[in-house]
Chain A
Amino acid sequence: MGFQDVMKDIEGYQDIQRDIEILKKYGIDYSSQRGSVEHSINLFHPKKIRLGVSEIQQETGTTRTLRLVPKDGYLPPFQAGQYINVFVDVAGIRTSRPYSISSSPGQTAYYDITVRRVSDGFVSEYLLDEIRVGDELESSGPAGTFNYNPLFHGDDLVFLAGGSGITPFMSMIREVTDRNLNRRIHLIYGCDSPDDVIFAEELARRAENHPNFSWDLVISTPPQGYQGLTGFITAGLMKQVLGDLAGRMFYLCGPEAMYAFCDKELSGLGIPKRKIRIEMYGSPRDVTRQPGWPSGVKAEAVFNVAVKGKKIIEARACEPLMISLERAGLAIPALCRSGECSLCRTRLLTGKVYQPAGVKLRKSDRRFGYIHACMAYPLEDLEIMI
């Protein structure tokens, strides 16, 4: 007797065998479910979304909002504060940049992104100068973790925004006020000059109409005779405009100089870490000034990076590896471009890179030699595997 036959002696075997025969006739026909898994994924996280520009709104001298509508009729839901990564071909280079969605998640017809000109910016210039109504763009699905989380954020929120860092907050403010949600928001918005204030009118209007939203503007380089708050968002200023700080959740989004500064001010005020949310907002402008950058490596230094099985490329020390790869026509998967989502996880075979402190590497990835190429800067010649 073979093994399978012996097994038939197990008590109950025959009954189960009978059940199976019946089920084979009347059970589930799975052949009709072709495509259903992919469909479920695409409802929330399509790999790519095709978008058309339906409207362009001038916000300030340097800022425009692009209204993006789906080419295929459907946009996945997002949480206010999330971003999309916009893919572009600029000057023959395939690259991408994440932009927070500034419209409300209640708006299912479009995503707004609000783009500010960055001095010597590559993609921002392209989006502002080249893109016209009717053009097509491609993006990732919505992503990111800088969103309101009702599980522990409470209902008393303080937003600290700097410059274009207002965009994720705008989505949150719009959502809370449009839906009349039971949350209180106070926004402290720092800008260089009164001309730079994005969404000024709308913020004023919403503050007037909704008792649960209020804001203060802080101008760092005020023109002569400017009436209003000036300087930086300091501990003193926060205490002055916010009063009692206990129990409030602080959110921070803006240029990197603001993080270091506000973070210090907040801990000075005794705000615990669990009450501070920070949006990683791209790679640092000047990585050589980050703590821990080795003094021996100059920003202009150029290294050879051997991409296993592909080619050897040149990479500048002051540029994230991801960009050097893109310049060489070797675009790798990208999403946050801020070191936190791990989509660009790349194996470093030899050589040393610098990764700023905020990079969210898994412990074992670090141990087994992986880097996040969007926030890894070469310090010598490298060999990598993509």
Chain B
Amino acid sequence: MRNAFVLAALAAPLVFGSPALAQGAAPKPPPPGASSCSGCHGAAGSDLPTLSGRSADEIAGSMAAFRSGERPATLMNRIAKGFTDEETRAIAQWIAAQGRAK
């Protein structure tokens, strides 16, 4: 018991005290590109669509349609072309998981 306490105290500088980290699991950094999205996609009620509550399939599907040009866009077509299918899916999964977390 005492030992564990000392070890935990020593380890403290490495775990930042956030609940996730205290349990030993560092939060996985977002996949490449994902953190930029919230610059335009926020809460519902904006002229720019919200992503919260959307499934990963829906987000990835939209991105694929923007990329192919199948879905018209003012701007998302230009951005979607910067990501591979795999990258897009990772971003979509991360955003969908964030949405649930909030």
| A-B interaction | no
